[in-house]
């Protein structure tokens, strides 16, 4: 008898789950899922990098028209921890504010609403100076510089078809409207950088078109610790010998870090040719200008309040020429020697007088008089 063999039926049960699923189907499903996971991860990383780059690019592209204004505060003590999983961008793709937070600058984006809203915002300062002066510069520095810059541009590029472009540096800027040497220039289309270390002015300055650097400017080396006064409003600044704020006991003081002017210029992309520098830092003028990067930057017009003999020597030795007093109490006008040669000192004085109501004023008894030759500042008796 021949016995018939029964064929063993091949089991369709999965060795993993015990159910009746096909092993081939299971393998195909696993491969498909892994493929989509890899593809999704790659696309997500690409999208994140693109979105970050696009966002940073948008910040740069909308600087002039955005209702957000970047105000950068210098805080070298702040450190950042690197995240190895974070999306990294090349340094040239980052705005200058964000290239290296560890170096001290951190941006704050201030929403200021309509461009002209600053005109309706009150300045609550009760300082003596604000009670006497209003909108714009104190002794027509803005009008004088605007006229001088146009006169120089007309001589240098008389045949040029393009409108001249001007740039200012306001150090220190103080309030954006009252006593501002650069507000009028900005209204005339100038671009510039406003440097102001006192936080009481930052919000109002954010309404201006200028870049705003919130920092104390010091010598060539960054991150020097200094004692400063922030409570005495427009007279605040670095406290110490040689400064306007000398006595620690008379004002409330705090500790801050300084940054060099060269570092600020590098970070904010200041052009090599600066049309106007407004310098009034309550006695720290010599400290700042001693280490100014003269080899890299040229200033056409410069106004300085009561320059001491040491500062005058520094300016003259670096190619700058004293032109005239703009007011008897010590606001002075200086120009680069190339400007003096191009325009002539007599012409510069003529333009300045034609655009000022203060040049020919004389002090009355009891008022202060500044003598440029000696640097003395004393009352008239």
Rg of the Cα atoms in the chain: 31
- Confidence grade of residue 116 (pLDDT, cut at 50, 70, 90): confident
d(C-alpha 269, C-alpha 250), whole Å: 38
* pLDDT of 358 above 90: yes
Provide the pLDDT for residue 26.
66
Stretch 306-315: mean pLDDT:
96
Structural domain includes residue 60: no
Structural domain containing residue 210:
98-379
3-state DSSP assignment of residue 126: coil
Provide the pLDDT for residue 220.
82
Q: Identify the CATH number of the domain in which residue 321 sits.
A: 3.40.50.150
pLDDT averaged over the chain?
78
The b/e string for 60-76 (b: 16+ C-beta within 10 A; e otherwise) is: eeeeeeeeebbbbbbeb
Structural domain includes residue 310: yes
Stretch 117-141: mean pLDDT:
71
Stretch 23-50: mean pLDDT:
58
The answer to whether the predicted template modeling score (pTM) of the entire model surpasses 0.85 is: no
Higher pLDDT, 9 or 366: 366
Structural domain includes residue 335: yes
* pLDDT of 247 above 90: no
Structural domain includes residue 10: no
- Of 4-8, 40-44, 82-86, 92-96, the range with the lowest mean pLDDT is 82-86
Provide the pLDDT for residue 311.
97
Structural domain total, the chain: 1
Residue 189 contacts residue 209 (beta carbons within 8 Å): no
Whether omega before 172 lies within 30 degrees of 0, making that bond cis, reads yes
Structural domain includes residue 80: no
* pLDDT of 174 above 80: yes
Structural domain includes residue 54: no
* pLDDT of 45 above 50: no
Provide the pLDDT for residue 258.
87
Provide the pLDDT for residue 372.
97
Structural domain includes residue 339: yes
The size of the chain, in residues, is 381
Residue in this structure with the two tokens 């400064």, named with its chain if needed: 243
Paired residues of 332 in beta bridges: 304, 325
The b/e string for 240-254 (b: 16+ C-beta within 10 A; e otherwise) is: eeebbbeeeeebebe
Provide the pLDDT for residue 56.
37
Percent of the chain clearing pLDDT 70 (strictly above): 62
Structural domain includes residue 158: yes
């Amino acid at each position: 008898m021949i016995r018939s063999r029964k064929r063993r039926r091949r089991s369709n049960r999965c060795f993993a789950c015990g159910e009746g699923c096909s092993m081939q189907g299971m393998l195909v499903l696993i491969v498909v899922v892994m493929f989509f996971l890899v593809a999704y991860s790659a696309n997500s990383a690409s999208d994140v990098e693109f979105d970050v780059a696009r966002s940073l690019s948008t910040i740069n592209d909308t600087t002039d028209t955005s209702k957000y204004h970047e105000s950068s505060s210098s805080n070298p003590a702040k450190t950042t921890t690197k995240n190895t999983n974070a999306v990294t961008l090349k340094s040239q793709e980052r705005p200058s504010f964000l290239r290296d937070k560890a170096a001290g600058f951190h941006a704050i984006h201030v929403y200021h609403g309509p461009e002209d809203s600053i005109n309706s915002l009150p300045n609550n300062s009760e300082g003596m100076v604000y009670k006497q002066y209003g909108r714009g510069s104190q002794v027509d520095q803005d009008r004088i510089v605007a006229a001088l810059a146009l006169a120089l541009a007309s001589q240098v590029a008389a045949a040029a078809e393009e409108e001249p472009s001007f740039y200012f540096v306001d150090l220190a800027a103080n309030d954006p409207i009252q006593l501002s040497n650069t507000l009028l220039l900005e209204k005339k289309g100038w671009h510039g950088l406003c440097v102001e270390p006192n936080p009481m002015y930052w919000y109002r300055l954010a309404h201006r078109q200028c870049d705003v650097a919130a920092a104390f400017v010091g010598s060539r080396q960054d991150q020097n610790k200094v004692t400063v006064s922030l409570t005495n409003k427009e007279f605040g600044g670095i406290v110490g010998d040689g400064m306007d704020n000398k006595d620690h006991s008379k004002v409330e003081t705090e500790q801050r870090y300084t940054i060099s002017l060269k570092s600020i210029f590098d970070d904010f992309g200041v052009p090599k040719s600066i049309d106007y520098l407004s310098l009034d830092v309550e006695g720290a003028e010599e400290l700042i200008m001693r280490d100014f990067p003269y080899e890299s930057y040229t200033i056409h017009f410069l106004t300085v309040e009561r320059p001491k003999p040491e500062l005058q020597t520094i300016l003259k030795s670096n190619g700058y020429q004293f032109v005239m007093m703009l007011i008897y109490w010590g606001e002075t006008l200086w120009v680069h020697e190339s400007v003096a040669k191009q325009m002539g000192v007599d012409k510069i004085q003529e333009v300045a007088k034609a655009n000022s109501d203060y040049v020919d004023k004389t002090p009355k008894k009891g008022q202060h008089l500044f003598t440029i030759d000696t640097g003395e500042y004393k009352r008239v008796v």
